[in-house]
Amino acid sequence: MVVAERKPMEEILTMVADFKKILLTGCKGCVTVCNAGGQKEVGILASALKIARKKEDREIEIDEITLERQCDPEYIDQLEKPIATNHYDAVLSMACSVGPQYIAKRFEDVLVFPVLNTTFIGGSLEHGVWAEFCQACGSCVIHNFGSICPITRCAKSLMNGPCGGSSRGKCEINPETDCAWHLIYDRMKRLGRLDKLSTVVMYKDWTTNRDGGPRKIVREDLKL
């Protein structure tokens, strides 16, 4: 999933400094799973903002709404009524950064702010801990590496083996980071496919990576 975390309170307080009435929108998708922008986190932030305001003897009116997802226009449409009936100074989105962009696109006259820093595509290691596992390169070849992604998990994204900085199974950049190539070697050895690491393969197709500009997928069979 997309993993994000809430921006520092100081930054959020600066964003809302001049506003009296805001709509705080959450998302029941990825950010709920990584405990960053779900219904609960919306409630917590709303309470924290109210405390910060009351401390200054000012008020802030915060409406809370958590959408199913903020990356499909059908769900963003659900904001039409609240936005039309209330005159919000701003809308704050606690979804990944796709959310505020969708809201801003749909409601062009509304100020939209991102509350989260969208960090990476990854998964949970344990309750409360998430790590990066995918860089969205567009041409997945992890099967050649025992289902471990060297692009993401190797600090240098090496495709041909470990560098000299691999020490006791850890990466030289951080003693807590596993050396991906150490993991790949161990996995391929366990699978009995070490010889595959020695075969010469074509260079990776990087045309599908973000380097060429924002990407788009079109499924003609699904278009209405």
| The two three-digit tokens of residue 206, written as one number | 């990087």
CB 70 to another protein: min, Å = 22
CB nearer to another protein: give 21 or 50.
50
Phi, psi of 6 (to 5 degrees): -65, 145
Nearest-angstrom CA–CA distance, 15 and 179: 40
In this structure, what DSSP letter does residue 144 have? G
Whether residue 64 contacts residue 43, with contact meaning beta carbons closer than 8 Å, is answered with yes
Q: Where are the alpha helices (DSSP H) in 20-163?
A: 30-33, 39-55, 73-76, 80-85, 98-106, 150-153
Nearest-angstrom CA–CA distance, 43 and 63: 10
CB 13 to another protein: min, Å = 7
CB 100 to another protein: min, Å = 22
CB nearer to another protein: give 51 or 202.
51
CB nearer to another protein: give 16 or 30.
16
CB nearer to another protein: give 54 or 215.
54
CB 127 to another protein: min, Å = 11
What residue ranges bind another protein (CB under 8 A)? 8-10, 13, 40, 43-44, 47-52, 54-55, 57
